[in-house]
Structure 1
């Protein structure tokens, strides 16, 4: 994660650090070598931060996860040499970018003496047809996380809610739809790599394969309010959600760059729009936005609590910060809805 540990582009690595059950021996970021991970990120794990791959090798690392998710999903030119070194050293390189590293580094991977390998997480592994709203006939609860913007905490909220359901012995399954969720869970669909005409069918396929579960948590992508996002609609059509969990960055007033000239809409109108789109103006049962998760990272507890109370009062919907305060309130609210 060079130069990305405390940057929004580092969300791939931060997600893995927070949720992966695999042992992580170190984080590579020369900007923060020797610093405390919890102090920098709030992630309460004792994982050393080192400056380069050679230090990671000394700590007996055997896999290299590319921990960035930059706009456009392209590999930085400066990362070519470290990846070559990792593959030469026999590492598994886990790649969540759009660039296919198995192709880019085929000259190394095709060498019989090379012991390294690549997992291109955004590789689409099957063909899909056209969605047909099959999930609408299911009797379980299908919870789709939606957001007012990109990178608003949809995956995190979904994973934490699913984790809390499982801890309380509920039947639940998480559908990963992005490279971070797939890397963490080892399953799912790289939705932004699926042809747009087949995207709803890909979501539908994942949901229908989990129909035995009482709860299906679908990881949201993008936002209906973002002009550069096409992901939310096929997620809605493919999952036919019964419930929506809205994620919102409370410190911001506008969408992030490069569309920072566009303000966030009124939350109540945004909630109504998502529900109306999901119901197809009444053709399907209208989903219930049962809760809101505010991203209050960087705010004092007093300020965070004040804003949480304001949003809950304004919308009449249970509101908290699922990272700061945990998922119990969301579980309780979901089971009452």
Structure 2
């Protein structure tokens, strides 16, 4: 089969479409004939040499895909060859085929195009595990998401609205802010010329914040939280090291988590299987009802993944970039 190799750490041009061995399903796994994959910022970090795949995972980038089940390994139940699915991956999504634990596979949602389904699993599992399962977002909460127009942000806005929360979002360009508003965010805050702390504090403070910036936003996020608020950090685009004001956290009874998804085990109380099962039970009906959809910024041929990476790195991407076979 063909897939993307990273010739050496570097820019988008190090992504090369090359031959790879055909994957075979191990016990508890299925092989998916991939229709499409999707680009996530974690893929950019892997390409740059800053985010190696977990032990035993494919070194082909790609954390989600959609397609058709082609083979089934020993011990797998509930799936059949020919089923249209999408899947959460630890790697391997930029390829023609991938082997994945069956517990990380989801049925293609009714009403969603098979190619577009490729952009759902990673963002859905990231948002749901952090915002709902960990932070406990619920009806009546004020939720703030940074980078509201990206793949994570667009999903988070819709999930929060579907749960009955009020949503505030930060975004850059006028087009990005308009997309956030269309999806249900109010207010939408320009991170270029507005202070999100002041805006959110005027609303009483956020109960939950989903942050992709890390160090550069840490203290401001703590200031923007209401008492008993929860900060879920899922990215470090603004740096990895910052001073933490524990006094502010103690006085306001704040909680914070930094929970990655890729390196989790498949099984166990904190495993991917538990997250995928909860997403299938509680989030998938919202997707199938059209209450949560994944806006698509662009469809790019998979062999041209370098172009997709350059687009995401350039910024102001609205929704997901899909890599189509």
**TM norm. shorter chain > 0.5:** no
TM-score between both structures, scaled by the size of structure 1? 0.32
> Comparing both chains, which one has the higher relative contact order based on Cα–Cα distances under 8 Å and sequence gaps of 6 or more?
2
TM-score between both structures, scaled by the size of structure 2? 0.33
Relative to total residues, which structure has the larger helix share, 1 or 2? 1
> Max radius of gyration: which structure?
1
